Amino acid sequence: MPRREQAAWLRDGLTMVNVRKLAEQIRHEIDRSLSLSAPGAGGTLPADEALLWQSGERDFAKILGSLPHGENCTAVEIGCRHGRMLKAASRNFGRVVGIDVSELAIARARDALGANPKVELAASHELDLRPISDCSADLVWSFSALSTMPPLAVASFLRDSRRVLKASGALRIQLLFGRELVIKSDDILHPRVYQREAFEQAARLAGMRVAATEPSLPELSSALRARGVESATLTLVPDGAPASVEAIAQALTTLSGEESPSLQALPDLEALSKIGFAAALAERGEEGRARQVLTYVETCCRVAAMDIQDILERVVAKASEVPAAPVSGDAAALAGNMEVVRERFPAAYRILSEAGNAPSGKVRVTGTSQGPAVWREGTCLDHAEKPQQAAATWASRALLEKRAAEAQSVLVVGFGGGYHLEELARGSRREVWCFEPSAEALHAALASRDLRACLRQLRGLSVSQPDQDALDQAQEILVRPQNAMFDGELVQPLRSQMVSRQGLSLLHPRIAVLGPLQGGTTTTGFYTQAALQRIGQCSRGMDMSGFNKGYELLDEMVRSEGGRAISRSAYVQALTTAMMQNFEEKPIDLLVCMAQAPASAAFLAEMRRRGVVTALWFVEDYLRFTYWRDIAKHYDFVFTIQKGECIDSIKRAGAGAVHYLPMACDPLLHRPMALAPAEREEWGSPISFVGAGYHNRQQMFASLAHLPFKIWGSEWPSCRPFDAMVQQNARRISPEEYVKIFNASAINLNLHSSTERDGVEPNGDFVNPRTFELAACGAFQLVDERSLLGECFTVGQELATFSSLADLKDKIAYFSERPEERAAFAARARERALRDHTYDKRMQQMLALIYGTKFQHLKARESSSPWSKMVERSSACPELRARCETARERGEQPTLDALVSDIVTGKGKLSETEQKLMFLFHVKKHILRPATAAKEGA
């Protein structure tokens, strides 16, 4: 059992000293703020107390969302100040505890709230939630307090929130995110901008994970927004044991960038709250008071650099904004709406035109204080009284789901009165597609009010039958409850059609990416593996390149070709045995082999016998490399970079399914870089080429020797004229290095290789990885013409091509003189590459195809796995269940070791579940293992 070092004790102790000191400073700052007696600041309650509580109600509703609540539940607010939100909270929770660092704030809150048996108030002297016992809170929230505190304070509260939260509880906080971070040790309370990754890491160290993120603080200064600062409300849920406060604080500040002077003038706590308060006043039409409040912000808060006037004008403009005037009469509204539908959704228009001619009488519209509501067969498709409010609630709850929140494109089933679509599109760049099964209901809705703005915001609208584009492009399907009831049978197939892509989130197959012993596809294997992980798959890479040395050594030992063939075969067989053993120990469900992976026919046959789905990404010219003929039949899926005859041939060779899947780029590596002058000197050139010295390249580039041309890569001759062009003794260039070359060169040549032809291959089809990588780097390239290039990029806009040596020379001369044009090409190519040609995209496409046909197989495999049984059995203990699920997602075997592998002594308090698992671990280690060893020894 590990022992605790004195250093750890003292470190914790010292952290506490610092926390206490910090608490004192924060207290002082809050007290100063409170003593100003500013409107809405909590110094004294504002004149319009009702407004204060009303804003508290509104903001708490945002915080609460659809989280569980009730009389048996407990909610805790960090930084309650004068208790603005506690009253609202007490209507939803049986016990509400307001915590504030300032005793003065607590006293003010006590005065403001009066006697409320559900509400408790407590001052926090050590930046923690001390009055709350372990695992007792359902909700901990902080509206704006945490976002203004120093990282150490945030860390301390985060850690203690983890302590007090029940396993099913949640922490909801508002924070500012951005790429730049300013933390000055002498500042105390002002909004902090965190890097999202840093915060997520800090949350993990605090024993939580970010379950949902929603945009918030709509009144954020445009100046800040322009600087890339965005506000978000995060939902954090317990997940693991917390590390020390110090470690969490460190994570919050780890990824800090250069200090940016323009961000040092971020508005302070008061400023933000006042701006929100002014917005509320303006919305109510109290323009004068809104101006007063903003004037106060300008004069009293440390926000001189803020464009208060801009905010004020925006707020007032918003308040005085007159809603689009209702078109008088149903007919006018219908005509206006139908005009938009006709323009944007002609297919829907045709159906709707007919629907209007033959009303069945099953649809009607009623009036409410919030606008008309549409009814179908006696059921209101909106809320019968408060359609707007209900739509807002539905939208916010729908987006609490992680999958929905992260989807850039959603398909909504049900148009209703259109309120929920307006809410869904509000403040978001999410693409919304809508499918309304009932043409008559949609027609009635269009006749009920002016929906032109709503219709214009939709990405697509289909009626009666869903639009295939919507099914292809939408990442998530959201079904209105009323439509689920009416159109359940229609909705089910829709869901099925999306299953292939939903498989990405519904399935957790264990994937292995098997790389080759050597060659260019080794790095493709790395990119593939990284992309799979990025899109949330349980994958592990099997890098075989380390075994290449042994493979090469065989050639040194054995001279004859026959002998070498025997030795190589035996070597691959040995690797196969090792891989089999590896998969025995750590089973997989899907094997993705890269081209030239050491996967023999026998190995693949055995994998399939074990129920493993096999896939090959054959990123090579099928005519040059023909080994697919022998092994294609052992693959369930083969993905190629060529079309036509390639696909047909591989199909004929017995592959299960063959699909075109072009190469891609990895934007994390292939990206624009700011190079130092020395680097630019070393790697740059007016004209560059990176790649091996294949025949056609040698033949063509010899003619460019008179140009300022650098050639990088291996297998180039050392004779003239190449001796002057080939760099660094024709050594192999690493990916990191060629990214520098791309970035440092004015014109990057990209000539696809050929061992047979001179110059440009006239029948070249596939697009090489270099094309995508150059594009992603934002580098200008001249690439030889390929028949499939036009499918990937718009030639002439995103890429410039050449068809012959003469053409190449002309293009070099032309583009050498036009740096702006080169830059425009490069920018467009990069945009396209990032949009359509990343490895993430490719893996999504690959898995969509695999899951589309193997969904049930993989699902059944997953359900019958020991993990599934364990997950089911551990339902009584949510934490154990979560551990099982996490370990399964990591691709671990269903063992105790897998369950405890991330429990680290000394990295925070162990939960009861963790302690019980560690108990079992030690029993296994000290009793079971020795007994087993003794038995085996005997």
Sequence-distant (6+) residues with CB within 8 A of 159 are 128, 206, 207, 242, 244, 245, 248, 908
Q: Is 14 in the site for other proteins (CB under 8 A)?
A: yes
Q: Mask 308-347, x = binds other proteins (CB under 8 A)?
A: ----------------------------------------
Q: Is 184 in the site for other proteins (CB under 8 A)?
A: no
Q: Is 896 in the site for other proteins (CB under 8 A)?
A: yes
- Tell me how far apart the alpha carbons of residues 207 and 330 are, in angstroms, rounded to a whole number: 56
Closest distance to other proteins from the beta carbon of 912 (Å): 6
| Burial of residue 2 (number of CB atoms within 10 Å: 0-12, 13-18, 19+) | exposed
Q: Is 17 in the site for other proteins (CB under 8 A)?
A: yes
Q: ω before 721 within 30° of 0 (cis)?
A: yes
Closest distance to other proteins from the beta carbon of 652 (Å): 43
- Tell me how far apart the alpha carbons of residues 471 and 381 are, in angstroms, rounded to a whole number: 23
Q: Is 910 in the site for other proteins (CB under 8 A)?
A: yes
Contact 265, 304 (CB under 8 A): yes
Q: Is 909 in the site for other proteins (CB under 8 A)?
A: yes
Sign of CA dihedral 250, 184, 212, 135: positive
Q: Is 167 in the site for other proteins (CB under 8 A)?
A: no
- Which helix H or strand E contains 373, and what residues bound it? strand 373-376
Q: Is 130 in the site for other proteins (CB under 8 A)?
A: no
Q: Which stretch binds other proteins (CB under 8 A): 572-580, 625-633, 677-685, 872-880?
A: 872-880
- Of the pair 137, 870, the CB lying nearest other proteins is at 870
179 HSE (CA, 13 A, CB side): 4
Among 5, 584, 715, 723, binds other proteins (CB under 8 A): 5
Chain centre distance of CA 378: 41
- Of the pair 255, 896, the CB lying nearest other proteins is at 896
Three-state DSSP at 710 gives: strand
Q: Is 245 in the site for other proteins (CB under 8 A)?
A: no
Closest distance to other proteins from the beta carbon of 537 (Å): 23
Closest distance to other proteins from the beta carbon of 151 (Å): 13
Number of neighbouring beta carbons within 10 Å of residue 48: 15
**For residues 808-867, which are near other proteins according to CB under 8 A?**
866
At 240, list the tokens: 């693991």
Among 425, 923, 933, 936, binds other proteins (CB under 8 A): 923
- Of the pair 31, 57, the CB lying nearest other proteins is at 31
- Of the pair 623, 933, the CB lying nearest other proteins is at 933
- Tell me how far apart the alpha carbons of residues 426 and 420 are, in angstroms, rounded to a whole number: 10
Q: Which stretch binds other proteins (CB under 8 A): 385-393, 810-818, 844-852, 927-935?
A: 927-935
Q: Is 938 in the site for other proteins (CB under 8 A)?
A: no
Q: Which stretch binds other proteins (CB under 8 A): 313-321, 342-350, 498-506, 871-879?
A: 871-879
- Tell me how far apart the alpha carbons of residues 581 and 55 are, in angstroms, rounded to a whole number: 62
Contact 849, 805 (CB under 8 A): no
Q: Is 623 in the site for other proteins (CB under 8 A)?
A: no
- Of the pair 342, 907, the CB lying nearest other proteins is at 907
Sequence-distant (6+) residues with CB within 8 A of 458 are 344, 345, 421, 425, 432, 433, 434
Q: Smallest Cα–Cα separation from 189: which of 20, 27, 15? A: 27
Among 76, 572, 792, 899, binds other proteins (CB under 8 A): 899
- Of the pair 12, 197, the CB lying nearest other proteins is at 12
Q: Is 729 in the site for other proteins (CB under 8 A)?
A: no
The three-point CA angle 844-846-848 to 5° equals 65
- Of the pair 155, 776, the CB lying nearest other proteins is at 155
Among 790, 924, 933, 936, binds other proteins (CB under 8 A): 924
Q: Is 890 in the site for other proteins (CB under 8 A)?
A: no
Exposure pattern of 564-586 as b/e (b: 16+ CB <10 Å)?
eeebbeebbeebbeebeeebeee
- Of the pair 13, 329, the CB lying nearest other proteins is at 13
Among 874, 882, 891, 892, binds other proteins (CB under 8 A): 874
- Tell me how far apart the alpha carbons of residues 177 and 433 are, in angstroms, rounded to a whole number: 29
The three-point CA angle 275-276-282 to 5° equals 85
The count of chain residues that interact with other proteins, using the rule CB under 8 A, is: 53
Q: Is 806 in the site for other proteins (CB under 8 A)?
A: no
- Of the pair 748, 874, the CB lying nearest other proteins is at 874
| Residue ranges in contact with other proteins by CB under 8 A | 1-7, 9-14, 16-18, 21, 24, 866, 869-870, 873-874, 877, 880, 893-896, 899, 903, 905-910, 912, 914-920, 922-924, 926-928, 931-932
